[in-house]
Structure 1
Amino acid sequence: MPTIEDVAKLAGVSIATVSRVINGSGYVSEKTRYKVWKAIEELGYKPEISAKLLASKGKLFNIYVFASKRILSPLQNNGILGEFYGVIIRAIEENCGRLGMNVELKMLENFSESNGADGYIFIGGDLSEKTLKEIKSRKKPFVLVDHYIPGERVDCVISDGYDGAVYATNYLISKGFKRIVHVHGPLHPYGFKMRYDGYKDAMEKAGLMPRFYECDDTEEGTRKVIDIMLNSYGTPEAIFTSNDSIAFWVIKRLKEHNIKVPDDVSVIGFDDIVDAENFDPPLTTLRVFKYEMGCLACKRLHELLTGINPHPVRILVFTQFVKRKSTK
């Protein structure tokens, strides 16, 4: 049976670091946390949650965490929860356990068949109006993560994409760039819409003309959009994208056109997923504090389950600009 020492050796970290990841005590970077998670999954290590700890938290609540097939399929195929939503899911699993909440991860599309939980957490922007209506009809506490529905006063935890986009756009403007393009995914998810609005407002405030291209958030769709941009607009000075994956695909396509990053075009992504630091070139991006978002969702749901601060709140988590080598 694998031990904590085995996990530390495989991850290349100290036993104390593994302990901090498991127990949620002290700061551990997302990159290091990812290494520990990967080692835990590869070894099949099962950290024990102390019965004494659970007893100290009072009642053990049963929580269902829902994410769409779109979100869960890539994570399950990779075998390790490591990218944007994977980090959030892992944070929820770890922190709910510490708060005396038992977690089951379920497919959003199967919500109607899922009964028996004391509360719910919904991840991502794929929640339909029909499902939201059914959720409310059950009269169980719930929290949305990385999604906000204007006009619906429900508890949610989101990153401040608007502020991050304004910061990124202003950074590019401060470097003297004027031809700054925004390449984004579909705007129905609130996160993409906030980033789009931040870019647009920052450009207009600086007296510059916004220029944006929408892709379908796939590599092939992004390649087509870049070709359209180059044919209709020419080569911009900088490109700001609505997430890191789109930034990767943008850079790959620019390279295929013999356009150098950052010499010819500076590129900024959004999210700071694990691969951003190791991309070629390492990606300048806005770090979304994904683990913290998962933690806050757990704490908020626990408050609702225990009757603390029942009035719904929207929790905004600021991003952090991370300068790497994809910008001049």
Structure 2
Amino acid sequence: MITIDDVARKAGVSIATVSRVLNNLENVSEKTKMKVWKAIEELNYKPKILASALARHKKKFKVGICESDRLIKMEKENISPEFYSVILTFLEKIGEEYGIEFCKTKLLTPIECDGYILVGGDTTKETVKYYKDIKKPFLLLDHYIPGEKVNCIVTNGYDGAYYATNYLIKKGFRRIFHIHGPLNSYGFKGRFEGYTTAMHQANLLPKYYEYDDVKDNMEDVIEFMIKKDGIPEAIFASNDITAMRVIRELKKRNFKIPEDVSIIGFDDILSAKEFEPPLTTLKVFKDEMGSLTAKRMYELLIGHDTHPVMISLFTKFIKRKSSI
């Protein structure tokens, strides 16, 4: 019989750390959590958590993780897998303890399930109407659509961007530019607005440039930025992948980071710490997003507290070496 001791040995951590991971407690890094969950999966260990809830509701559920064609394409091309891979790892592990079996399906052509989790910023009002008509529980993960009162789990990008921009302003920077993703995404839009508000409150002029991570047009973005507005003192990027691409392009042009340009990203994906230079960023609590999504979906499946809610997680500023 596999025990928690076996999991701890395989993951190379203490039993207490395994226990903290299983109970989703603080003070355990995402990297360590991923190691523990990998050990649990490889050993096929079945932790006895949430037993009382499962005892009351023994029914097994099948829930579709619905991804857009754009997100599926990005995953296949390994463009930006880290953010959602961490969230979905914790979603699936916590969901298993509630008797939920997950399967991936397409956003616009879902397979038959008991409920659905719509992933990312490609969900539209038309898509929401489609799922409402199915009359099965569903929620939005990492997205919100104004006016659509549906369950959603999001990150408070506005607050994080506002904090990061003010951090740069307090460092004495005035030429702070923002490079963002498509603004139909609630996450990118919130970060855009947080940056804008902070700049306006400081009587500074916001400067924006849009980056297409699928086409990867960063070279053109940087060329246009320099030609149109000159060299910034700092750049706030709407996610870490964008920030890393900015740094690579600036390095090609012999700019030193952060001596010439300070860079701040958003998300704190696993590779942000190992990047050169290590990336200053806003940490999104991806493990908790996954856990909260699983718990909320379970509530909806059993008909508990069904009135729609928005759960918004604050970020945490992580200072590293890509910014002064």
CA apart distance, 1:162: 0.4
CA apart distance, 1:55: 4.4
Q: Paired residue for 2:30?
A: 30
Aligned length: 320
Q: Deviations over 1:28-68 (max 9, x none)?
A: 22121133345567xx4323366994842413222222122
Q: Paired residue for 2:189?
A: 193
Task: Pick the aligned partner of 1:304 from 286, 300, 304.
Answer: 300
Q: Paired residue for 2:13?
A: 13
Q: Which runs of 5+ in 2 are unaligned?
A: none
Q: Conserved in 2, the CA contact under 8 Å of 1:75 and 1:86?
A: no
Q: Deviations over 1:210-247 (max 9, x none)?
A: 00111112473112101111122111100000000000
Q: Conserved in 1, the CA contact under 8 Å of 2:50 and 2:97?
A: no
Q: Conserved in 1, the CA contact under 8 Å of 2:7 and 2:45?
A: no
CA apart distance, 1:290: 1.1
Q: 1:223 aligned to 2:213?
A: no
How many percent identity over aligned positions? 52
Label 1:174 to 1:104 Cα distance change in 2 as closer, same or farther (>3 A): same
| Higher relative helix content | 1
Q: Distance in 2 between matches of 1:24 and 1:70?
A: 34
- Quote the RMSD (CA, aligned, Å): 2.6
CA apart distance, 1:9: 5.2
Residues 84-233 of structure 1 correspond to what in structure 2 (within 5 A)? 84-111=83-110, 114-115=111-112, 117-218=113-214, 220-233=216-229
Label 1:46 to 1:177 Cα distance change in 2 as closer, same or farther (>3 A): same
| 1:154 partner SS | coil
Q: Paired residue for 1:68?
A: 68
Q: Paired residue for 2:270?
A: 274
| 2:225 partner SS | helix
Q: Which runs of 5+ in 1 are unaligned?
A: none
Q: 1:255 aligned to 2:255?
A: no
| 2:312 partner SS | strand
Q: Distance in 2 between matches of 1:158 and 1:279?
A: 26
TM-score by length of 1: 0.88
| 2:183 partner SS | coil
Which segment drifts farther, 232-241 or 301-310?
A: 301-310
CA apart distance, 1:105: 2.5
Which segment drifts farther, 288-297 or 54-63?
A: 54-63
Q: Distance in 2 between matches of 1:187 and 1:242?
A: 10
| 1:106 partner SS | strand
Which segment drifts farther, 276-285 or 290-299?
A: 290-299
| 1:258 partner SS | coil
| 2:278 partner SS | coil
CA apart distance, 1:296: 1.3
Q: Conserved in 2, the CA contact under 8 Å of 1:148 and 1:190?
A: yes
Q: Conserved in 2, the CA contact under 8 Å of 1:49 and 1:97?
A: no
Q: Conserved in 2, the CA contact under 8 Å of 1:217 and 1:246?
A: yes
Q: Conserved in 2, the CA contact under 8 Å of 1:180 and 1:238?
A: yes
Paired AA for residue 193 in structure 2? D
| 2:272 partner SS | helix
Q: Conserved in 2, the CA contact under 8 Å of 1:66 and 1:106?
A: yes
